[in-house]
Amino acid sequence: MISIKLSQKEKIKHLIYWLIITAFLCVVDPVPANLFVQIVSTLIIMLVYMFVYYAQCLYIFPAFYKKHTLKLTLSILSILILYFAINYSNLNYVVTLFGNANPVLSESKFTLISDYLILFAIVSVVAFGSFQNKMSILKIQLQSEKEKALLIKELGFFKNQFNSHITFNFLNYCYNYVHESSKEAAEAIELFSGMLRYTINSKPNELVLIEKEVEYINQFINLKKQLSKGMYIEFRSDGDLSNTYIFPRMLITFVENAFKHGKTHEESNPISISLNAIADQVTFEVKNKKNKSKTPLSTGIGQNNVKNQLELYYKNRHDLKIAEDDDNYACKLVLTN
């Protein structure tokens, strides 16, 4: 059986809707009785309609729709019989309190039955529409979870193919071998080793402290500076770095693109990178001057990957804005935990 539940916000909205409908009926179509009986009778009517709606939307349709046609039909008929029984009792016993006229006697039975059947049908159609809407949302969520699981599985597969033990032993050998002859080369190997270790040890679906991500970005920037002298980069990070969490490697693609497409050797136009972290929000900005002399082959895979990750891990909790013209490029990413 498919489980359909209402969120706290939906419960509040539904309560407001039912109260509005109740007040509307009291004013527009009052029961022919004194005020007390009107209120009691209208509340009974609304409780019956709520029962009809939620019994079908949350239980009957999820349990039997497209599975057990006979059980679905019998369940709806059972609710219909109960619906008529309660409404009949309401008109015959509640409304007639204190000597009020009996609507069953004063109105045509055919008209009463027709009206109640039409109202039952309307409530049932609305319940079915709500059920279909919920099913569509659940289907999208399920598909998103499957894609997320597949991505994690693929990343895990690639990691399993990577022999980290021999790789780090080799890097350690290279570091020790070149340390005496070239400290800069040794430092570059150490930076690369640190980046590689972070990449391997961090799992894409597990949060890490933002200070770890900052360290990773710093290692990337320092490695680029080692490989190409005279680069000008400004990287500022502030806020609560030791208590704020983020999914790993969510920011590095934007830094890589700045180095790939921007001017890096002009002191007056440095690449500007800033990160601000508070308890429940991370703001990350990258700005650079475009280097028109560079014509790198760009597939857009990196940008697409990070957008897919944002949809998977920060769905409805991120805001990515990109602004560019002929000379400048800027992006701002806000993540909410």
Q: Are strands 233-239 and 271-278 parallel, antiparallel or unpaired?
A: parallel
Lowest model confidence (mean pLDDT) among 173-182, 233-242, 245-254: 173-182
Indicate the fold that domain 227-336 takes in CATH.
Heat Shock Protein 90 (3.30.565)
How confident is the model over 27-46, as pLDDT tens digits?
A: 766 666 667 777 777 788 88
Residue type for position 217 = I
Answer whether 271's CB lies under 8 Å from 259's CB.
yes
For range 247-267, the mean pLDDT: 89
How confident is the model over 77-130, as pLDDT tens digits?
A: 999 999 888 888 877 777 666 556 666 556 677 777 888 888 889 888 988 888
More confident residue, 144 or 57: 57
Q: Tell me: pLDDT of 211 over 90.
A: yes
Query: What pLDDT score does 99 carry?
Result: 59
Residues of the chain with CATH 3.30.565.10: 227-336
Summary mean pLDDT of the chain = 81
How confident is the model over 299-316, as pLDDT tens digits?
A: 565 677 788 888 888 888
Helices within 161-299 (DSSP H only): 164-179, 183-201, 210-227, 252-261
CA distance linking residue 118 with residue 114, whole number of Å: 6
Residue 317's nearest CA partner among 246, 237, 257 is 246
Lowest model confidence (mean pLDDT) among 202-211, 227-236, 293-302: 293-302
CB neighbourhood size of 220 (10 A): 19
More confident residue, 33 or 217: 217
How confident is the model over 270-296, as pLDDT tens digits?
A: 999 999 998 789 999 999 998 877 655
For range 15-37, the mean pLDDT: 75
Q: Tell me: pLDDT of 333 over 90.
A: yes
Tokens 């008529």 label which residue? 84
More confident residue, 302 or 191: 191
Length of the chain: 337
Query: What pLDDT score does 95 carry?
Result: 67
Q: Tell me: pLDDT of 139 over 90.
A: no
